[in-house]
Amino acid sequence: MGCSGFTCSKHCLCALNILYVMVSLLMIGIAAWGKWFGLVSSFQVVGGIIAVGVFLFFVAGAGLMGAMKHHQVLLFFYMIVLFMVFIVQFSVSSACLAINREQQDQLLEVGWNNSRSTQRDVEKSLNCCGFRQLEPNRTCDAACFPNHSCLPCAEKIQEHAGEVLRFVGGIGLFFSFTEILGVWLTYHYRNQKDPRANPSAFL
């Protein structure tokens, strides 16, 4: 049977969802590891990554179960959810790749001002203090602080922010195309007959 057949479509859809399950478990594991070893102290960041990982795990689980059982309802909802995820992820990835330096600076400053724990993490890891300048009467966890030799964090963040955005945008685009592939496979698979079933029945 060619790759357009029922069995090949089923195996491709199962393989795609096993990949998603592995990615979701990796996301959850990395977030928990970072929190456990104190690499990231922000609960919002860790919680957000874990929430995305859990969501992806359940979506992939539904897709895997639907593919294994050729379950029409599960496959339909899986296809709809995956298409919505594709739209969001494609939009965010495109924005990451298209953002200019001025917009990047504005987003960085907003993110910096929203979380004290994130500020402490960045200051400690990049050995800097404050975003553009250190506020009076404020302490800093950076190793350079006792010597009063710290540079503002904005300069160091901006050195890496562009590369990070391009990397995140590229990875996001890659996975968004696997998602639209999953939507197409699911649609194709739903409209195929199971050769093991009654030939006169259309499942």
Listing DSSP states for 107-142 in one string gives HHHHHHHH-HHHHHHHHHHHT--SSSSPPTT----S
DSSP string, 141-161: -STTGGGT-PPPHHHHHHHHH
Whole-angstrom distance, CA of residue 76 vs CA of residue 181: 15
Q: What is the pLDDT of residues 57-95, one digit of tens each?
A: 999 999 999 999 888 899 999 999 999 999 988 988 888
Task: For 116-168, write each residue's pLDDT tens digit.
Answer: 777 787 888 788 888 777 666 677 878 887 777 788 888 777 777 777 778 88
Encoding tokens for residue 170?
């590229």
Tokens of 188: 């194709």
User: Rounded to two decimals, what is the model's pTM?
Assistant: 0.71
90-111 tens-digit pLDDT: 988 888 888 777 877 787 778 7
Cα–Cα distance measured from residue 145 to residue 129, given in angstroms and rounded to the nearest whole number: 7
